[in-house]
């Protein structure tokens, strides 16, 4: 993963989520707030089970059920705060879609490694193609699948003499 620098935002993720929930006739419960804070504590890709595990390791006594985590992740996705990235092993991982710049992914089909990148020339090309077609881009998502540098390296063969 590359080091994407956080973008300054006027509204905190908690406040943004609270606004979204209000439009849905819901409120930001203590459990949902705990989840949002944990999700935005670091910019790491994670799956639902990893988040549940992190929440269960907390020492502040705030417990959150697995079903609440799954529902909150769906709500965070619907609100535009998170987005899901599909991994080759069919395991969906989440990442911040709020507070970080537009970026794209290279995904290794062998080991599942995820490499984030920003390429302004790609954005320029998309803008040019959209303009040529009278299309207005609201967002884009690019996931390129292949093999990472580590998986492309030739495997070292083990000789029988090395095993002695």
Q: What is the pLDDT of residues 35-73, one digit of tens each?
A: 999 999 888 889 999 999 999 887 677 778 999 999 999
Closest CA to 29 of 69, 87, 88: 69
Question: Is 148 annotated to bind ligand?
Answer: yes
State residue 16 phi and psi, 5-degree precision: -65, -40
Q: Which residue's entry shows tokens 């302004």?
A: 120
Name the pTM for this structure: 0.75
Domains and CATH numbers, the chain: 6-100 (1.10.10.10), 101-164 (3.30.1490.190)
104 among annotated binding-site residues: yes
Instruction: Give the tokens for residue 123.
Output: 């954005």
pLDDT per residue over 127-159, tens digit each? 999 999 999 998 888 889 999 999 999 877 766
Any known ligand binding at 151? yes
Whether residue 108 is annotated as binding a ligand: the answer is: yes
């Amino acid at each position: 993963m590359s080091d994407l620098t956080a973008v300054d935002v006027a509204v905190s993720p908690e406040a943004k989520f609270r606004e979204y929930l209000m439009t849905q006739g819901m409120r930001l419960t203590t459990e949902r707030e705990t989840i949002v804070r944990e999700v935005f504590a670091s910019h790491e890709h994670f799956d639902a089970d990893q988040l549940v595990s992190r929440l269960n390791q907390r020492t502040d006594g705030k417990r959150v059920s697995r079903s609440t985590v799954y529902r909150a992740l769906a709500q965070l996705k619907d609100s535009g705060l998170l987005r899901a990235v599909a991994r080759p092993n069919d395991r969906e991982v989440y990442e911040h879609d709020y507070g970080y710049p537009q970026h794209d992914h290279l995904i290794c089909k062998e080991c599942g490694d995820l490499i984030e990148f920003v390429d302004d020339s790609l954005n320029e090309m998309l803008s040019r193609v959209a303009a040529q077609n009278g299309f207005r881009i609201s967002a884009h998502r690019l996931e390129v699948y292949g093999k990472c540098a580590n998986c492309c390296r030739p495997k070292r063969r083990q000789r029988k003499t090395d095993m002695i």
